[in-house]
Amino acid sequence: MITLESVFKRYGSRTIIHDLSFSVEKGEIVGFLGPNGSGKTTTLRMIAGYTAASAGRVSVAGYDMATQNDVAASHIGYLPEHPPLYDTLDVTAYLRFVAKAKGVARSEAAAELARVVAACRLEDVARREIYKLSKGYRQRVGLAQALLGKPQVLLLDEPTIGLDPGQLHEARDLIRSFGAEHAVLFSTHILAEVTMICKRVAIINNGRLLAIDSPSGLQRALEQTNRVSLQVTAPADELRQELLSVDGVRTVQVEADDGDRLRVECQVEARDGVEAAIARAVAPRWPLHSLGRLEPTLENIFLQYVSEG
């Protein structure tokens, strides 16, 4: 449903997006993860047809966005970072206006409005002016306008930004429910969201795609983030040499901790038994106060990719 092939975006001499390629299928929610300024919004705007790629090909529902974006538009629901709301209209009047702009037939408009109002749980505020709505309800109205016209593709740019914890939970549930019938590209810089919502994660930084996989697949791909942490009372140089001699230990970082204790992190191979080997090497020689395994998380995987990008 969404395909990018070797896409570049340039503004003058500055290249914003570099050789970007990935796809999103129907029934799939892909998290588009990256720090602020990484190129997420620019990519979504190219997919939505707001701006054109400088090179490469962007297609939506089989239509080339360079030559058929007017046809492709009917297949796209787009929620920008700042929802395009008209504050003086009430929710129903605004959605009726959007339905007309999207070309929804008059005979189908009432049923279509009822569908998106129910899907986004807007029944309680359907006749309320938009300027009176909370941030959470405004985001729901933005989602509702994106759903109008039954688009096959949903592009959601930071849809949960600025929401309180209760609103976050509701927004995530809504987005998750859309995944069954749409191809959803969901932009965020919040790491926890992609594990809760997304089937796959695309990590982008400085306009370059660093990785794309399932959250669990990314964890397997970066097994070098496995670390063993320990606290020891020992001479730093001798301890470092002893640990580096242990099979499965790749690197050792030693820092001073409380008193004469040292805090140590060992980057280790992703296999069983490394912690036990470290304990056998250290405990007979020096007081070993604590030892534990730090498993890979999406956060340190993301930071690892960005730092190496």
Per-residue pLDDT at 309? 55
CA angle centred on 185, ends 99 and 64, rounded to 5°: 75
* pLDDT tier, 306 (very low <50, low <70, confident <90, very high otherwise): confident
Q: Is 268 exposed, middle or buried (0-12, 13-18, 19+ CB in 10 A)?
A: buried
Long-range contacts of 93-100 (CB under 8 A, 24+ apart): 94/130, 94/141, 94/145, 95/141, 95/144, 95/145, 95/148, 98/145, 98/148, 99/148, 99/149
How many angstroms separate the Cα of 270 from the Cα of each of 7, 204, 293, 305?
Answer: 35, 26, 10, 18
Task: Give the tokens for residue 224.
Answer: 């070098």
Task: Give the tokens for residue 234.
Answer: 């020992």
pTM, two decimal places: 0.76
Question: Which range is least confidently modeled, 16-25, 61-70, 140-149, 294-303?
Answer: 294-303
Per-residue model confidence as pLDDT tens digits over 230-253? 999 999 999 999 999 999 999 999
* pLDDT tier, 81 (very low <50, low <70, confident <90, very high otherwise): confident
Residues shown for the chain: 309
Question: Which range is least confidently modeled, 3-7, 60-64, 191-195?
Answer: 191-195
> Which CATH architecture group holds 222-308?
2-Layer Sandwich (3.30)
Helix (H) or strand (E) holding 99: helix 91-101
Residue 189 CB partners (closer than 8 Å, separation 6+): 33, 34, 35, 36, 38, 40, 158
Task: Give the tokens for residue 95.
Answer: 């959605």
Structure-token match 């399932």, residue found: 214
Q: Percent of the chain at pLDDT above 90?
A: 62
Q: Range(s) for CATH 3.40.50.300 in the chain? A: 2-215
Q: Which fold has domain 2-215?
A: Rossmann fold (3.40.50)
Residue 122 scores a pLDDT above 80: yes
Per-residue pLDDT at 222? 65
Per-residue model confidence as pLDDT tens digits over 249-287? 999 999 987 778 999 999 888 778 889 999 999 999 999
Is 32 in contact with 44 (CB distance < 8 Å)?
yes
Q: Range(s) for CATH 3.30.70.260 in the chain? A: 222-308
How many angstroms separate the Cα of 254 from the Cα of each of 180, 225, 283, 289, 293?
Answer: 49, 17, 17, 15, 16
Q: Are strands 2-11 and 55-60 parallel, antiparallel or unpaired?
A: antiparallel
Per-residue pLDDT at 296? 67
* pLDDT tier, 215 (very low <50, low <70, confident <90, very high otherwise): confident
Cα–Cα distance measured from residue 275 to residue 281, given in angstroms and rounded to the nearest whole number: 10
How many angstroms separate the Cα of 22 from the Cα of each of 5, 18, 52, 183, 203?
Answer: 7, 13, 17, 13, 11
Structure-token match 């670390």, residue found: 227
Q: Percent of the chain at pLDDT above 70?
A: 96
Per-residue pLDDT at 308? 64
**Residue 291, beta-bridge partner list:** 230
Residue 134 scores a pLDDT above 60: yes
Cα–Cα distance measured from residue 16 to residue 4, given in angstroms and rounded to the nearest whole number: 15
Task: Give the tokens for residue 46.
Answer: 């190219």
